[in-house]
Structure 1
């Protein structure tokens, strides 16, 4: 039997060995945790959110109490609107490190996004305790009480702010909101009236009190206050704006517009203020009736600031919104003359020129825009279409491929249109495989994109390739957008290539009936179908009509002439 001392020595030896192994394991884990955490931050910095989350999840598997990892993963989950997990992880971070201000702020942001206002009050109470010197947390706490309809507590909180930090206009404004919610309008009026007494030469009190009367549907009382304000502060543009609102409530548009113009003419309102006003006016659907005065104000802006491109660009935007496209184009051109480095102006200009059929002008501007903004997908997209319309297929391809390289993958509508346009361009360059792949990508993103369905089907029919697929796509485009003569013509031609001439005749006649004007392509297809059905004389008659129409528009009539002379259907070589 071994002695006790030997036994103790052996136990001590075993303990030291196992302890060293445990220490070595913890050290290894600690190093791995740090490595994974910094890898996650690096992935996040590079925009690889999934990779960052994967590494943070591994960190938490090794170290469930890693508050920094919990904080970071909660931030990522909040960005992805995964509010459940974001709440769980942010809350756990605050439990582990209750003295960390930023963890509480993140948790508050999560609850704000969830609109869980009840959960906000204890958070701001905690932040006030942690950082008693930060006034903003007291305001957040008071506002959280207000949102939760804890109105008396909100009033107490604002009184506390006043005692601790001194009087503040924001407190008066907040109080009047509370009094209104408590259905105590007299107290609300008293609160704002006291602001006017304290600061009779500041427009803020007059405007706030006038707005209160407007909320209470008392525009005449609002005007009394504003008139008094103008006595103390003659020509104040912001009081004029409030007067415009009051007159608008009284349906006195003449006086309302007059006050708007007075405000706009004042040099006390800076350029940015006037821009914001115009944008708010043009963005408000309720303001349709004041469209003429908005146009006048925009014109005034260009006169007052004749060297600022933004004034002309905004005037162009307003004109474009009113469908005055030629006038809008003139303003965009003036804006570009003053500053050619704003891509959005070029985009608007190109879009309008393409819409107006000004293809030569669009082509000229496409060269400049595509060179100036090689990494702007929308600029490249519109420039690509300008090239495509003028059969500059190589240039169009360069633009659309550039747009594809730089478009945000989340912008599905634009991405779909880029792929579809690449399909058209590759077809024109006889790159059939690439064309098919581009159309396939477009339809993968949006299977109901009628333009893509139609064009893909038509180009397959020209190649006599995958005609069953072409028929399905063309039929679907007609179901999605009935009575479109272009789509009906495509379906007729697919049916023609399938040898289904009777049904093709039905669809070409629908296309011609729905077409607003004669089209050489429709008439030629009509003649081709009639020929296949054995009606030679009528087929030749339609080819002659097609030829006459094509000659009027400057199209090539060589094949039509051959058909007419031979009295026979001939394919394009």
Structure 2
């Protein structure tokens, strides 16, 4: 009787009043037993209040008078767990199960404590016992197998899954678990057999055939995989994944041939867009790395089909924009990125790509406007702050630029490259605000992040030379730049500018001659510097010739135009 009372009390959740079982006869429960029940209730009340020591004291009092009271041992185990004393929790949970092994809640709790104590094998044993108590409880079998796997007993786990299948029949979930275990054991034959059982059980499911085909591909059994894909197409002639897989037979080393074979699949509006994009993403990445024109042309044809068939999907425009961008067609890419954002403005990588195009084109007004829009959606995106600052610098709004660039530094976290880029722009902004000390500090901080990168070496050298200060350091930075990026007209032009500011015009001309040989003949700034240098050396006609060339190549400063008009150096 007392055991029944305690068990009933245990599962009357949150009730703390004692009521004798219905139909109990007067005198059937002794006064001592009633007192013991009252003590048990007091212990539970203290437990609910979080008074762990007081609760244990009451429960121990119960056990002194009723030494095999499972309910009390269970409650004590839970109190010890709350006190983070898992060793004692295990001790009393073991007692609860020993004194009442048919109570599934005690065994479930003991298994949980075993797991927390790192005793997975013992936890598995408890679920084995629970299966005996409830042989049709699917969850108990799965937990049993789970803890056997954690105990490095995959074979025993498979046996448990076999027993579950014998009770419940074949299910995808169990088959997948067994397949994974066989794979982990290196038994590819049995792993395949499990998937084949699934196919046999559900012969009309192409999804299971795909599982088997994919497995055959992963294990190098290409021929068997192709046979399965053909079976899939017999059942569903429109299956895109199977069509694509079979199209790969024609690929060999000819990527273009393979991609062209995908066109019918891409033209099918019923084929999922993600499936199509998944197939070409590796080739888009290859295009980004190589710039292969033939590959780019083929990808453009496919992505044009995607855009037509899935015109209302942002992803279709985005992938076409990527292909255009990596094919060197920035203006067209720009339009597709803009369309992508019209359809879905929640993808930061699209914003980022669009912003970098504006930066590359030096369209600083659009860069500022678009980065402002991006920051409305992504207020903690450091790159957006940086590009906003870059654009403001380009517009000559140096104070505003510093505000954005400082924000970029704050939210850049561990992104060292972004901090580096922001510091260079800050160095420029401080220079134009005539805060030369802060300009130098910003460049010095950038050097600490990467002391051999051309960007900081070029800019720091230029802005020191432009002030005519610390020209020896400017020369040293320019020398390091030429070592880091040799035979490049930008590096050589930087050294020439330092010599020009030192009034060493012959040396400046020598470096500018090198710059012209290495691509500077198309750069308006290099051409203008060359004209300035010739003028300082007394060659006025030569100077005018190079100033005119600078103008023809796109130089548009008022100062350059004035030099050409007046045929002389002007301030």
* TM-score class normalised by the smaller sequence: 0.5 to 0.7
Q: Is the 8 Å Cα contact of residues 214 and 246 (structure 1) preserved in structure 2?
A: no
Inter-partner Cα distance in structure 1 for 2:319 and 2:337: 9
Inter-partner Cα distance in structure 1 for 2:310 and 2:200: 37
1:345 equivalent in alignment to 2:350: yes
280-289 or 336-345, which deviates more: 280-289
User: How far 1:416 sits from its partner (Å)?
Assistant: 0.6
Q: Is the 8 Å Cα contact of residues 243 and 265 (structure 2) preserved in structure 1?
A: yes
Q: 1:425 aligns with which of 395, 416, 429?
A: 429
5+ long unaligned stretches in structure 1: 1-65, 69-96, 105-122, 146-152
Cα deviation 1:263-300 (Å, max 9, x = unaligned): 88363x65555555555664589999976665555444
Inter-partner Cα distance in structure 1 for 2:486 and 2:253: 47
Q: Is the 8 Å Cα contact of residues 393 and 428 (structure 1) preserved in structure 2?
A: yes
Inter-partner Cα distance in structure 1 for 2:302 and 2:239: 17
Inter-partner Cα distance in structure 2 for 1:551 and 1:263: 48
1:377 equivalent in alignment to 2:391: no
Inter-partner Cα distance in structure 2 for 1:141 and 1:260: 49
1:240 equivalent in alignment to 2:243: yes
Q: 1:99 aligns with which of 108, 113, 116?
A: 113
Cα deviation 1:41-96 (Å, max 9, x = unaligned): xxxxxxxxxxxxxxxxxxxxxxxxx979xxxxxxxxxxxxxxxxxxxxxxxxxxxx
Give the 5 Å matches for 1:447-458.
447-458=451-462
Inter-partner Cα distance in structure 1 for 2:151 and 2:250: 35
Give the 5 Å matches for 1:9-48.
none
385-394 or 322-331, which deviates more: 385-394
Q: Is the 8 Å Cα contact of residues 307 and 316 (structure 2) preserved in structure 1?
A: yes
- CA 1:143–1:128: 2 relative to 1, 3 Å: closer
Cα deviation 1:421-474 (Å, max 9, x = unaligned): 121222233332222222122111111221111111111111122222222211
- CA 1:326–1:554: 2 relative to 1, 3 Å: closer
1:311 equivalent in alignment to 2:322: no
User: How far 1:258 sits from its partner (Å)?
Assistant: 4.7
1:517 partner SS? helix
Q: 1:514 aligns with which of 501, 515, 518?
A: 518
Inter-partner Cα distance in structure 2 for 1:322 and 1:129: 62
- CA 1:332–1:526: 2 relative to 1, 3 Å: closer
Q: Is the 8 Å Cα contact of residues 495 and 503 (structure 1) preserved in structure 2?
A: yes
Please name the residue that 1:46 is paired with: none
Please name the residue that 1:471 is paired with: 475
**TM-score of the aligned structures, taking structure 2 as reference length:** 0.64
Q: 1:223 aligns with which of 226, 235, 244?
A: 226
Inter-partner Cα distance in structure 2 for 1:451 and 1:248: 42
User: How far 1:415 sits from its partner (Å)?
Assistant: 1.1
- CA 1:339–1:444: 2 relative to 1, 3 Å: same
Please name the residue that 1:200 is paired with: 203
Inter-partner Cα distance in structure 1 for 2:369 and 2:343: 18
Inter-partner Cα distance in structure 1 for 2:191 and 2:499: 74
Please name the residue that 1:403 is paired with: 408
User: How far 1:328 sits from its partner (Å)?
Assistant: 1.9
- CA 1:256–1:295: 2 relative to 1, 3 Å: closer
Q: 1:554 aligns with which of 547, 553, 556?
A: 556
User: How far 1:417 sits from its partner (Å)?
Assistant: 0.6
Q: How many equivalent residue pairs?
A: 444
Q: 1:328 aligns with which of 315, 333, 354?
A: 333
Please name the residue that 1:157 is paired with: 157
Inter-partner Cα distance in structure 2 for 1:508 and 1:341: 47
1:461 equivalent in alignment to 2:465: yes
Inter-partner Cα distance in structure 2 for 1:560 and 1:437: 35
User: How far 1:227 sits from its partner (Å)?
Assistant: 2.0
Q: Is the 8 Å Cα contact of residues 368 and 387 (structure 2) preserved in structure 1?
A: no
Inter-partner Cα distance in structure 1 for 2:527 and 2:302: 51
User: How far 1:418 sits from its partner (Å)?
Assistant: 0.9
- CA 1:266–1:551: 2 relative to 1, 3 Å: closer
Inter-partner Cα distance in structure 1 for 2:541 and 2:504: 22
Q: In terms of Rg, which structure is larger?
A: 2
- CA 1:134–1:356: 2 relative to 1, 3 Å: farther
- CA 1:200–1:350: 2 relative to 1, 3 Å: same
Cα deviation 1:306-335 (Å, max 9, x = unaligned): 334343223323433444433321211112
1:483 partner SS? coil
Please name the residue that 2:416 is paired with: 412
- CA 1:275–1:530: 2 relative to 1, 3 Å: closer
Inter-partner Cα distance in structure 2 for 1:337 and 1:494: 48
How big is the alpha-carbon RMSD for the aligned residues of Structure 1 and Structure 2?
4.3
Q: Is the 8 Å Cα contact of residues 454 and 487 (structure 1) preserved in structure 2?
A: yes
1:210 equivalent in alignment to 2:217: no
Inter-partner Cα distance in structure 1 for 2:163 and 2:468: 84
